Structure 1
Amino acid sequence: MSFAYWSILIAALLPLAIAAYAKSGSRDNNTPRDSAEKLSGAKRRAYAAHQNAFEAFPFYAVAVLGALTFGASAKTVGVLAAVYLAFRIAHALLYIADKATPRSLAYAGGLLTNIAIFALPMLQINFV
């Protein structure tokens, strides 16, 4: 199985890793969504990054599966998948660090990379 497929699992688990940081130290597991409202500072931003990672995931998963299904090179998709994951990890770290402009640039880089993955079969471009 190619890295591109595995990257979908990594992207799916990324929001959970971010949430683990956001909620570390929280003792309220009875109403975990309510306790998120009480977060502040870096942990509140981590929770927002967690939500953003979930919002970005469906398009990414569809783009990778679509590209591979419709004939894009698995190696090219894999390279772009690694770039996408790097952007998404950077986005989360920059969100937590409260670096708004670099965070927005990381978001845009991830989005553009995702669009590139989605468009690969149509453009018949293989970088690798």
Structure 2
Amino acid sequence: MAIELKFLAWAVVLGIAQLLLAATLATGRRGLKWNASARDATPASLEGVPGRADRAFRNLLETFPFFAAAVLGVVAAGRTGHGTALGVQLYLWARLLYVPLYLAGIPYLRSAVWAVSMLGLLMVLWPLLR
């Protein structure tokens, strides 16, 4: 199996882990009754670590579809190589590092790590644009 697909699978695992973390922290803040409800009312905003966990997860959701499409595209087109292998690794490891940085509220380093993940995504996409 191509390394790009393996890292795509691990990115899915990261997304599920972030979803579970954000949901658990939101339930801890809003309560089990809220979690079990139909959630018709506007919930109280999440602040602190629960809010940062939710925003970090939503940030992953903003880039993940592009990453998945690029990975599937280069694999289907047979355009994988050293650059795409490095790109998927940069994306996943940066996204993994992004979570604790965001949870800790570390501003500039978090943004730099996000930029590394975007560089990785672009490295995967590039062979499809040539």
TM beyond 0.5: yes
Q: Which amino acid aligns with 2:61?
A: F
Q: Which amino acid aligns with 1:8?
A: L
- Report if aligned partners of 2:2, 2:75 keep a CA contact under 8 Å in 1: no
Q: Which amino acid aligns with 1:15?
A: G
- Report if aligned partners of 1:67, 1:117 keep a CA contact under 8 Å in 2: yes
- Report if aligned partners of 2:84, 2:123 keep a CA contact under 8 Å in 1: no
Tell me the equivalent position of 2:79: 72
How far did residue 12 of structure 1 move? 2.4
- Report if aligned partners of 1:2, 1:74 keep a CA contact under 8 Å in 2: no
User: Identity rate of aligned residues, in percent?
Assistant: 25
**Runs of 5+ consecutive residues of structure 1 not aligned to the other structure:** 124-128
How far did residue 33 of structure 1 move? 9.4
Of 59, 83, 104, which residue of structure 1 is paired with 2:66? 59
- Aligned equivalents of 1:120, 1:2: Cα separation in 2: 15
Tell me the equivalent position of 1:126: none
- Report if aligned partners of 1:36, 1:44 keep a CA contact under 8 Å in 2: no
Tell me the equivalent position of 2:50: 43
Of 83, 106, 110, which residue of structure 1 is paired with 2:117? 110
RMSD of equivalent CA atoms: 2.5
List per-residue Cα deviations over 1:101-120 (Å, max 9, x = no partner). 11111111111111111103
Which sits farther off after the overlay, 53-62 or 75-84?
75-84
Aligned residues: 123
Matched, 1:92 2:85: no
**Runs of 5+ consecutive residues of structure 2 not aligned to the other structure:** none
How far did residue 18 of structure 1 move? 1.4
Question: TM-score normalised to the size of structure 2?
Answer: 0.78
How far did residue 122 of structure 1 move? 4.6
